[in-house]
Structure 1
Amino acid sequence: MQSPLPALALLFNAFIWGLSWWPFRQMHGAGLHPLWATALMYGAILLVLLALRPGISAQLRQHRSLWLLALCSGLNNVAFNWAITIGDVVRVILLFYLMPAWSVLLAWRFLGERPTPQALARLLLAFSGVLLVLWPAEGGLPRLLAALTLADLLAILGGFTFAVTNVTLRRLHAVPGQARMVAMFGGCMLMALLAAQLGRSMGLVPPFPPLSATWAWVAALLAVVLLIGNWALQFGAARLAAGTTAIIMLSEVVFASGSSTLLGAAQLTGGTLAGGALILLAAGWSVWRPRVHAAGTPHAPSDKVTDTRPEAP
């Protein structure tokens, strides 16, 4: 009988990310904006990793294409962390999980993978769900555009850059895994710093606050927990099929929705529930694998959900 530990490890990782909105809000309430928090945590982790494995720096210089990975991974984390701090958590998570739909279009454009009719159907299903989530009670396209919040836009951007990161990782499959992961950590730190400075100039982000024991302890603990969670992701994903991993990852939506609803950080409307069901159905469908026939092997869908948030190498 297969050990349940890999599945439990993946559930633990999903649980960590599903509840990550709460410590980010605690730090925000203590005066530390999520952009500064992201830069601080990933910067500290990056320094430790480079000190332990200094040879990775040479690998980074050898593969300049890792800068693209750093860019899209950094934007992914910046957008996600900022959105879950200031927005309705359920709404943000659902918009973020539009990633499989973006992957269809990106793989078509950059990898030359023409979408199948099933992939196009998933695309239509996912975007229909997004419309239901975003559609205002009063209705009408003008009101829909007027009702979009910064958190909504950040969540959509996060899902899109999540998909770009997936496609980029596939193109960089020959690059050593440690170099890819360090590039992603570095990208999170750099993009958070750049976004914080830009947001500060626009009046959207306050200056870096004086040191506070409240947010300092939360940031340190969250950094450690994320490392443990991502180690659990590596352990589980290496021992289970990719489709199984992706399905278990969707439990993050359940953890985030349940915790945020109980703690008053989200509102479950009829439109959110209906749209979320369509988005999750599209995401689940994207990792379904047809039975392999003896005559040949079916093509793997290009929009598989893969967690590309930085992992501990």
Structure 2
Amino acid sequence: MPALALIFNAFVWGVSWFPFRQIEGHGLHPVWATCLVYAAIAIAMALLRRSILGLFAQQPALMLLGLAAGFTNVGFNWAVTQGDVVRVVLLFYLMPLWSVLLAWAFLGERPSLAALARVALALAGVAVVLKTPETDWPVPSSLPDWLGVAAGFGFAVTNILLRQLRSAPGEARALAMFSGCALVAGVTALAGTALGVIAAPPLVAPAWWGWALVLGTGFVFANVCLQYGAARLTASATSVIMLSEVLFASISSVALGAATMEERIWFGGALIVLAAVWSAFAGEPAAGDDRRPIPCKDMP
């Protein structure tokens, strides 16, 4: 049951691109959708658990956690609605690379030779994924690419903060991340709308509410499943099972025409996933060894 719970969580996130695209098809930009969905969840949680609000004054780092989680979600949700889904998800799963570097810089955890080898393996995978006949150098060539990489970086930052806040109650961390997702998405949406980059929310187009309800409900149940499963399995098992998100995203996006699977994507993706699996079984906190708390994309 714990493994099935984690697989359900990965499934929800692996196919979340589809309802986001349906919402966008009804005129609501994914960043606005992210803001509204997480704001509704955060408000409901704050009303039900008012006692945890005081913890934010006692532990200001919770606010940083919320910002990092919000950065992660805005980048990921925006990227999967604009670009090739498989490509974005693979770039997002560069998290082990960022985690090694961040843990070295902020936690004083010097990487071992094996950790550096995993970083090199992941970078090689990224180079293969990004290198196309049209590009001279294998670097991100589009907004979705950059958003996917940035979201993975935010995911790693969130894990670093969660390790520092492991003594804080899970509900406080969850509320911080839900609130942060709503705040960062809201600020991004307002700024993007003012600059003409993001379309303003439609006033008369209620059709997207149904998809937003489906998305919000899926997030809540996925997070409950994550809490149940991750609390009962080892960190390495949790990490590997969560990689099934790549599988769900690949199958669903290819089947529905939202991604293409060329040979270089298969090969580069295999290198990235191999680096992540190696990190999970390395016995080192390369991606935040305390895996029960996973960012708002996967609530603690």
- Tell me the distance in 2 between the aligned counterparts of 1:258 and 1:120: 31
Q: TM-score, normalised by structure 2?
A: 0.95
- Matched with 2:13 is 17
CA contact (8 A) 2:163 2:288 kept: no
Q: Is 1:278 paired with 2:268?
A: no
* 1:238 to 1:25, Cα distance in 2 relative to 1, 3 A: same
Task: Describe the superposition over 1:278-307 as per-residue Cα deviations: whole angstroms up to 9, x where unpaired.
Answer: 000000000114xxxxxxxxx633335843
- Matched with 1:250 is 243
Aligned-partner residue type, residue 232 of structure 1: C
Moved more, 84-93 or 63-72: 63-72
Which structure has the greater CA radius of gyration?
1
CA contact (8 A) 2:91 2:148 kept: yes
Q: TM-score, normalised by structure 1?
A: 0.91
- Tell me the distance in 1 between the aligned counterparts of 2:217 and 2:85: 23
Q: Say what the alpha-carbon RMSD is for the aligned residues.
A: 1.5
Count, aligned residues? 297
* 1:311 to 1:163, Cα distance in 2 relative to 1, 3 A: closer
- Tell me the distance in 2 between the aligned counterparts of 1:121 and 1:201: 44
Match of 1:231 among 217, 224, 244: 224
- Matched with 1:213 is 206
- Tell me the distance in 2 between the aligned counterparts of 1:134 and 1:207: 32
CA contact (8 A) 2:97 2:119 kept: yes
- Matched with 2:286 is 302
- Tell me the distance in 1 between the aligned counterparts of 2:299 and 2:30: 21
The Cα shift of 1:111 comes to 0.4
CA contact (8 A) 2:71 2:151 kept: yes
Match of 1:159 among 140, 152, 155: 152
Moved more, 199-208 or 16-25: 199-208
Q: Is 1:58 paired with 2:58?
A: no
The Cα shift of 1:172 comes to 1.3
Unaligned residue ranges in structure 1 (runs of 5+) = 290-298
Task: Describe the superposition over 1:33-54 as per-residue Cα deviations: whole angstroms up to 9, x where unpaired.
Answer: 0011001000001111111111
* 1:139 to 1:31, Cα distance in 2 relative to 1, 3 A: closer
- Tell me the distance in 1 between the aligned counterparts of 2:93 and 2:297: 17
- Tell me the distance in 2 between the aligned counterparts of 1:184 and 1:127: 29
1:110-189 to 2 correspondences below 5 Å: 110-141=106-137, 144=138, 148-189=141-182
CA contact (8 A) 1:287 1:304 kept: no
Q: Percent identity at matched positions?
A: 51
Task: Describe the superposition over 1:256-298 as per-residue Cα deviations: whole angstroms up to 9, x where unpaired.
Answer: 0000000000011122111101000000000114xxxxxxxxx
The Cα shift of 1:309 comes to 2.3
- Tell me the distance in 2 between the aligned counterparts of 1:182 and 1:205: 27
CA contact (8 A) 2:72 2:297 kept: no
- Tell me the distance in 2 between the aligned counterparts of 1:209 and 1:175: 39
* 1:74 to 1:139, Cα distance in 2 relative to 1, 3 A: closer
Structure 1's consecutive aligned runs of 4 or more residues displaced over 3 angstroms after TM superposition are: 304-307, 310-313
Task: Describe the superposition over 1:229-274 as per-residue Cα deviations: whole angstroms up to 9, x where unpaired.
Answer: 1100111101111100110000000000000000000011122111
The Cα shift of 1:211 comes to 4.4
- Tell me the distance in 2 between the aligned counterparts of 1:311 and 1:301: 18
* 1:304 to 1:62, Cα distance in 2 relative to 1, 3 A: closer
Task: Describe the superposition over 1:83-132 as per-residue Cα deviations: whole angstroms up to 9, x where unpaired.
Answer: 00111000000000000110000000000000000000000000111111
* 1:311 to 1:258, Cα distance in 2 relative to 1, 3 A: closer
CA contact (8 A) 1:185 1:310 kept: no
Unaligned residue ranges in structure 2 (runs of 5+) = none
CA contact (8 A) 1:113 1:302 kept: no
